[in-house]
Amino acid sequence: MMIEFDKVLKESLWNNSIIFLKDAIERIVSTNIDREIGTERGLILLTCSSIQVSMELALKSFIIDNYGVRSILVSSQYRMQDDEIIRLYNSNKIRTKTFEELKKFLKQNNNNILTEDDYDIISDFQKFRNIIVHFIPNLSDGDYFDLEYDVIQYAIHVLIKILKNGDDLIKSSEFLEHHLGWELREKLIKYEPYLHAMSSLVRQNSDKVFDCINCGHRTFSMEEQICYSCNFENHFYYLIDCCFCKEKKSVIYDNLNIKGNNHIMKGVCLNCGEDGMIYQCPDCERAHNIEVNCENQCLPGKCINK
Ligand SMILES: [Zn+2]
Ligand SMILES: [Zn+2]
Ligand SMILES: [Zn+2]
């Protein structure tokens, strides 16, 4: 009985967390932002409060999922019988621990889903949320500018980690596309604070980050062959070394269609942006930029490796 109850509860909390996340993202990316003037202060405050509500719901859902519903209840309700807890829930009398207590619970239970930095970010937003709710934040234009970037970073780096239940196989951009919808994700790709958050996330996970051939942003992980901003995944294109910037395996070209195109296709370096015509030898399959360094390379009709 309790397993089923936990499941229903954690799913409801999770779904409500997504409603607040979607609301926050939808509002902030749908405004026509003039970056010179900055986003309206009220909108940034609303975004902060929606993201914080989303975080509080997500954290409860996560704890129920991993430790059961009793872990989120106040001590007076903790030892109650299962049917009593369900009865309290049905009459809206369930009482949960504070966000601070839940955060501590997660930390004490050695759940390594979050890093020390993540906990610090959570504490900062928690304090800020309290200022919004109980008083008026005293912030300059520059503070508001930073806050907009910080809140999106918080959503991408911390909140989504909790919502994904620590599943590293799902990328944050995939998660957002799936739960916010393609249209909203398209707007996010043009939103500076999102690109900034994705850029720092990809740099945490990948030593080499180059330009994405799909969206053009420098958020393409060379290790994973995935773009953190737009979800483009490279499964088919080949990569060769760049003769301009000397980077290894950074020039991308369409090897699927090159044979039907006289073995020549345009290629571009994802690191330095230089392009050139790539020749893939039909005999030995080696490829190179035929506009430069043609010595000791295969040429049409002449394979040097044969
Ligand atoms: Zn991309
Ligand atoms: Zn290059
Ligand atoms: Zn050859």
What is the SS3 assignment for 127? helix
| Residue 164 DSSP symbol | T
Give residue for tokens 């993201």.
51
Considering every ligand atom shown, identify the ligand nearest to the alpha carbon of residue 242 and give its number: 2
Whole-number pLDDT of residue 294: 63
Determine if residue 181 is left, alpha or beta; phi over 0 gives left, psi from -120 to 50 gives alpha, anything else beta. left
Domain covering 238-289 in this structure, CATH number: 2.20.25
- Cβ atoms of residues 270 and 210 within 8 Å: yes
Q: What are the sequence ranges of the domains in the chain?
A: 2-167, 238-289
**pLDDT digits (tens), the chain, 306 positions:** 778 999 999 999 999 999 999 999 999 988 766 665 667 888 899 999 999 999 999 999 999 999 999 999 999 998 899 999 999 999 999 999 999 999 999 999 977 889 999 999 999 888 888 888 888 888 888 888 899 999 999 999 999 999 999 888 899 999 999 999 988 888 999 999 999 999 999 999 999 999 999 999 999 999 999 999 999 999 989 999 999 999 999 999 999 999 999 999 999 999 999 999 999 999 999 999 999 876 788 988 899 987
- Residue 126's pLDDT is 87
Indicate the residue type of 275: D
- Exposure string over 67-84, b if 16+ CB within 10 A, otherwise e: ebbbbbbeeebeeeeeee
Around ion ligand 1, residues with a beta carbon closer than 5 Å are 212, 214-215, 227, 229-230, 232
DSSP 200-219: HHHHHH-S-EE--TTT--S-
pLDDT of residue 139: 87
pLDDT in the model for residue 279: 95
At residue 25, the pLDDT reads: 94
- Please tell me the predicted confidence (pLDDT) of residue 136: 82
Q: What pLDDT is stored for residue 38 in this prediction?
A: 66
Q: For residue 256, which amino acid is it? A: L
With a CB cutoff of 8 Å and minimum separation 6, the contacts of 25 are 155, 176, 180, 184, 188
Distance, C-alpha 158 to centroid of its chain? 9
The beta-strand segments (E) located in the chain are: 209-210, 220-221, 226-227, 238-240, 251-253, 264-269, 275-280, 287-289
In order of 24, 86, 176, 224, the CA distances from 189 in angstroms are 16, 43, 11, 20
Q: Which tokens belong to 203?
A: 């740099």
Distance 243 CA to ligand 2 centre (A): 7
**Residue listed under structure tokens 């914080």:** 52
CATH architecture classification, 2-167: Up-down Bundle (1.20)
Å from CA of 296 to ligand 3 middle: 10
CA–centroid distance, residue 226 to ligand 1 (Å):
8
Residue 217 CA, ligand 1 centroid: distance in Å: 6
The pLDDT of residue 83: 92
